[in-house]
Amino acid sequence: MKVSVIFPTKNREHYVKRAVRTAFKARSVQEVIVVDGGSRDRTLEIAEREGARIIVQSDLVYPGKGVAMRDGAYLATGDVLVYLDIDIRNMTPEFIEKLAEPVINGEADFVKGCFERAAGRVTELVAKPLLRMFYPDLARFKQPLSGEIAGLRTLFYKVEFERGWGVDVGLLIDFHKLGARIVERDIGYKDHDMKPLHALTDMAYEVAGAILRRAIRDHKADPRWAEKYLRGVRAIDLGLESGRGFA
Amino acid sequence: MRTLLIGGSHQAYFAANAIREIDPEGKLIMIEFTSEKVEVLSKTFPFAEVILQEINEVESYIKGNASILDAVISATESDSLNLRYCKAARESAVPLVISILNNPLNQEIFLKEGITYIINPHSIIPIELSEILGGSANILYRSPKNNVLVASIKISDERLLLELKRTLDQSSDVSAVFVSQAGEITSSLNEADLGGRLYLIGSERSIDKMLKVARKVVRR
């Protein structure tokens, strides 16, 4: 099975060279894709020079991580897709191999990476409580918001990509709904910047919105309840007015 | 003409209507990825044959039908898919392969991949703004097929006017009309006054040269 490694990125010229080179060193990797969110630096130029396939995400929304992940999946040709944050300072080929191997070996359809770090605040205070309420089967995951994932490419075409920070938990729920075999793999220590608190507030709302939209979709939450208690609290778009539901 | 239009975005909506107008007797086939959208498209475009396909099946469809397709237009909501489908059409020797971009920043990437006809729906924004706000030199339209350019230049000083007159006299492949500040239109540059606008239509090479002259004079 061939592996495509996908890096969603924006203004990461200092990380991209090392990340692409590291990815190409991992077993079974046939292509590296850098999906850019409209960088103003040399990220794309360096990525292309290092042999990565490049594309700019279709919508320049902020945060557009989900759009970038979707576009990466659509461009990829490998059987297995591996997603990683590009700014992991201690990234090694083993990170990628640990994520891809359960899928390559036929043990899993979707792999969620976890790492040695205290789980984040949004994870503990938002994602896990909501998952326990609506998707208790998924509450066992140590880091449901981890952006280090791998999965069968064909399954990524059957799920809904949230546009922003809700994408990771959204994919977890959607793969679970598809009946995919999901495992969590410890990828070791991850040297990575923590987000400041003000950035976490927006992230928390987006994560909550992603879980609640799916809970409504999957008839686990009463939309009238959600409307009464959650609409207007902040920018949680439940898709109730537009009937859209998903980006 | 037999055209395959992929995607059900609002860009595809405009493309479908344009194709119908250009070629009312032609056959339009549309592809979408969800049954809900296929149903909506079938109702919106009763003249088209709307087909449900999985994202991964479209390339096979293109390859299988390439010999009977005159044009493939990819107008999905993802530029990654647009690139994939256009490449499949190009590799299958479909005569006309056209992509409608979502993000203009992808134009260069598509060109590098050999996609010749790239429609950037956002390209009109700087052009219109420059015309409205009185930009010094403005490319209004660049024909994707025939190396023809339409441009406008603001006549901001005498030197520029003289330079343009001289260049126009030497160019047999450019026509010009002048619009004065009062809105009067004339084909004679002798009646041109300062503050008006010169509109040029002609060969890309010659007009590009005149635009360079204009920009140089304005910078000075």
Predicted confidence at residue A244, as pLDDT, reads 40
Is residue B75 pLDDT above 70, yes or no?
Answer: yes
**pLDDT score for A106:** 97
Specify the 3-state DSSP secondary structure of B52: strand
Tell me which of 3.40.50.300, 3.40.50.2000, 2.40.50.1070, 3.40.50.720 is the CATH number of domain B2-119: 3.40.50.720
Residue A236 banded pLDDT, cuts 50, 70, 90: low
Domain-by-domain residue ranges, chain B?
A: 2-119, 124-219
Residue A7 has pLDDT above 50, yes or no: yes
Q: How many CB atoms lie within 10 A of CB A200?
A: 18
Cβ neighbours of residue B20 closer than 8 Å, sequence gap 6 or more: B28, B45, B47
Partners of B103 on chain A (C-beta within 8 Å) are 56-60
Kind and range of the H or E element at B28? strand B27-32
B167: pLDDT strictly greater than 60: yes
Q: What pLDDT shows up at residue A61?
A: 76
| Interface size, chain A vs chain B, as Cβ–Cβ contacts under 8 Å | 45
Confidence of residue A76 (pLDDT cuts 50, 70, 90): very high
Distances (CA, A) of B58 to A136, A153, A154, B43, B140: 37, 16, 14, 22, 35
- Best of B54, B57, B100, B105 to substitute, by most chain A Cβ atoms within 10 angstroms, is B105
| pLDDT tens, residue by residue, A154-182 | 999 999 999 888 999 999 999 999 999 99
- Give the residue on A whose Cα is nearest the Cα of B78: A58
- Measured between CB atoms, which of B54, B55, B109 is closest to A55? B109
On whether the CB atoms of residues B80 and A36 are closer than 8 A, the answer is no
DSSP, collapsed to helix, strand or coil, labels residue B77 as coil
Nearest CA in chain B to A37: B105
Neighboring chain B residues of A36 at a CB cutoff of 8 Å: 105
A81-126: pLDDT as tens digits: 999 999 888 899 999 999 999 999 999 999 999 887 665 889 999 9
A58, B78: Cβ pair inside 8 Å?
A: yes
C-alpha distance from residue B220 to each of A89, B161, B166, B184, B213 (Å): 49, 14, 18, 28, 11
- The pLDDT value recorded for residue A144 is 94
Q: What is the pLDDT of residue A229?
A: 60
CA-nearest residue of chain B to A44? B109
Q: How far apart are CA B63 and CA B73, in angstroms?
A: 14
Answer whether B103 sits within 8 Å of A57, measured CB to CB.
Answer: yes
Residue A243, pLDDT score: 40
Over the range B30-64, which residues count as b (16 or more CB within 10 Å of their CB) and which as e?
bbbbeeebbeebbeebeebebbbeebeebbebbee
Q: What is the mean pLDDT of residues A45-72?
A: 92
Torsion region of A212: left, alpha or beta (phi above 0 gives left; psi -120 to 50 gives alpha) = alpha
Nearest CA in chain B to A60: B103
Q: How much is the average pLDDT of A128-151?
A: 94
Would B2-119 and B124-219 be classified into the same CATH topology?
A: no
pLDDT tier at A235 (50, 70, 90 boundaries)? low
Residue with more model confidence, B160 or A197: B160
pLDDT of residue A246: 37
Of the options 2.60.120, 1.20.1250, 3.30.70, 3.40.50, the CATH number for the domain spanning B124-219 = 3.30.70
Please name the member of B55, B103, B105 whose beta carbon is closest to the beta carbon of A74. B55
How many angstroms separate the CA atoms of A180 and A84, rounded? 20
ipTM over 0.90: no
Cα gap B198→B154, rounded to integer Å: 6
Domains and CATH numbers, chain A: 3-195 (3.90.550.10)
Q: Give residue B214's pLDDT band: very low, low, confident or very high (50, 70, 90).
A: confident
Q: Which residue has the higher pLDDT, B9 or A144?
A: A144
Q: Read off φ and ψ for residue B156, nearest 5 degrees.
A: -95, -20
What whole-number percentage of chain A has pLDDT above 70? 88
DSSP state letters, A104-160: HTTS-SEEEEE-SSPPPHHIIIIIHHHHHHH-GGGTT-S-TT-S-EEEEHHHHTTS-
Best mutation site among B35, B79, B83 for testing chain A: the one with the most A CBs within 10 Å? B79
Chain A residues within an 8 Å CB radius of B78: 58, 70-71, 74
Q: Which of B94, B58, B93, B96 is nearest to B76 (CA)?
A: B58
Give residue for tokens 């040029």.
B200
Calculate how close chain A gets to B77, using CA atoms only, in Å.
7
Which of A36, A38, A70 minimises the CB distance to B78? A70
At residue A240, the pLDDT reads: 47
- pLDDT > 70: percent of chain B: 99
Q: What is the band of A238 on the pLDDT scale with cuts at 50, 70, 90? A: low
pLDDT, residue A230, reads 61
- Please report the pLDDT score of residue B218 as a whole number: 72
Label residue B48 by pLDDT band (50, 70, 90).
very high
Q: Which residues of A fall within a CB distance of 8 Å from B55?
A: 74, 157
Checking if the pLDDT of A241 tops 50, the result is: no
Residue A146: pLDDT above 80?
yes
pLDDT tens-digit readout, A185-227: 998 877 777 667 777 888 898 999 899 999 999 999 888 777 6
B56-74 pLDDT per residue, tens: 999 999 999 999 999 999 9
Supply the DSSP symbol for A196: P
Q: Which two tokens stand for residue A217?
A: 């979709």
User: Taking the model in full, what pTM does it have?
Assistant: 0.87
Q: Do B79 and A60 touch (CB under 8 A)?
A: no
Which of B54, B55, B83 is opposite residue A55, by nearest beta carbon? B83
pLDDT at A184 exceeding the cut of 50: yes
Which of B77, B83, B103 minimises the CB distance to A75? Answer: B83
